[in-house]
Structure 1
């Protein structure tokens, strides 16, 4: 009897899952509400190395949801703030740690009416150990920027997909 109690509890919990109303974000694939929005976004050029990295990451993620129309209904304008600051002073007044922060303010613009549909921000930061090798520090800073570009792109695309799903629910899709 004691052995069947955890099994019974698990079965009761499983039977309650359909009532929680969780729905997949990308339901319907490219033809779903989120996929339709993601597939119709054109990423405007973003200046600088960080901009090039973020734009490429965004294009990679947005093309995965392409609806196949080839027509961009939206334009994504992104402004980046890439900051590298030193902190963690050591006993000899040298910096022992750095923080790289990448913040993006992005606007989704409807190309037909030139109106802003979404205005939001996304960002992330990462810590970098400063070591005696200058080459290693520069490599770590570049690797951190590449990782941050991916994280920021993930956050932007997730927000766009949520907006698309909400619009699809409001429109009855």
Structure 2
């Protein structure tokens, strides 16, 4: 392949990248529909309703929405809400929100049948969340960290079949909050 052919091939690849959905700032977006656990579906397929890319909510609302989604067995969607909160959080809280989002991703890996990914994300989440006990907004950091670590250990020992529906919908906020 000569230099001109290489340049044309590279230019064609760049045009393919540019054909992706992009937001106003030029960042790539994935507009493909998703299934209940966040797996991409073919364009035109009927997917689950998604959390809008521009979702912003006060922390208490984000926690309530993430809880609703976890209770409805939609951990991928809960992750999107918690990720939005993480990106909007003030610096001192960012790692807490990142840990909560990682916990939801760990649950997503459970639902997708990925034991190794679930364990890794749940352990990372446990480490991040534990650093915030006590946590703002009534977040149950101590119990969430312990539950994430215990679940990761159980998956490693007993496999994904040991996971219950209740394991994937812990209370994000302490009782009475």
TM-score w.r.t. structure 2 length?
0.29
Task: Give the number of the structure whose alpha-carbon radius of gyration is greater.
Answer: 1
- Structure with higher helix content: 2
RCO comparison, higher one (Cα < 8 Å, 6+):
1
TM-score w.r.t. structure 1 length?
0.29
- Structure with higher strand content: 1
